[in-house]
Amino acid sequence: MKNAVSPSNDEIKAAMLKYDFALQILETQLKILIKEYETKYQYHPVEHIKSRIKTIDSAIAKLQKKGYEVNLYNLEHHVHDIIGIRIVCSFLSDTYKIVEMLENSSFIKIIEKKDYISHPKPSGYTSYHLIVKIPVCLVSGIEEVEAEIQIRTIAMDFWASLDHKIQYKFSNDIPTEIKKELYNCAVDIKKLDQKMLILNDIVNRYYK
């Protein structure tokens, strides 16, 4: 196994620097793509963007939860969401516009796609997940750094936020009654997204 000796905090902090750089680059690239799309189509598909970098403790905890030894190699190869970006859109159709935009980018390399919008998780969770790689120019050369991008509607984001808060309150499994109600809410939110999409289409017909 590589890096059998556990790294010091200073070594981990130094290794995490590239994730700071990659996040800055990715945020800039997203702004460019979205601005270009807005100019070309006279339409802004994004409500807001949130970003974060996992803390060292959080990254290590995820690695340990997966059953891997704590070392730099495993952090880099088995924790794919040290960088997290969430793109929140108004309408369901916008989520796929963003996915297509990223797929057409020659700068952002997509290495994994998970469409939880078409295929929700058993809990009812819906979102579109992409694992991507971003080139970062370091003194030692160009290095590709992974990031996770989540794309969802405002309604999906509302549900996911509440789900996260509820899960945080329970150290063990969430009671069945609460799981059922959360799932029912997810179904209602999916219907709401569909209704808002239809309403947007009607508005666009009048606008045209």
Catalytic residues: 148
Among the four given CATH numbers 2.130.10.10, 3.10.20.580, 3.30.460.10, 1.10.260.40, the one describing domain 9-207: 3.30.460.10
Q: Is the pLDDT at 181 greater than 90, yes or no? A: yes
Residue 23: φ, ψ to 5°: -65, -45
Q: Which residue has the tokens 């796609």?
A: 113
- Classify the phi-psi angles of 67: left when phi > 0, otherwise alpha if psi is within -120 to 50, otherwise beta: left
| Residue 1 confidence class, pLDDT cut points 50, 70, 90 | very low
H-assigned helices in the chain:
9-41, 56-65, 72-78, 92-103, 154-169, 176-207
Q: CA 182 to CA 163: how far, in whole Å?
A: 7
Q: Which among 141, 31, 48 has a CA at the least distance from the CA of 94? A: 48
Model's pTM, two decimal places?
Answer: 0.90
Could you report the per-residue pLDDT of 128-177, keeping only the tens digit for each?
999 999 999 989 899 999 999 999 999 999 999 999 888 878 877 888 99
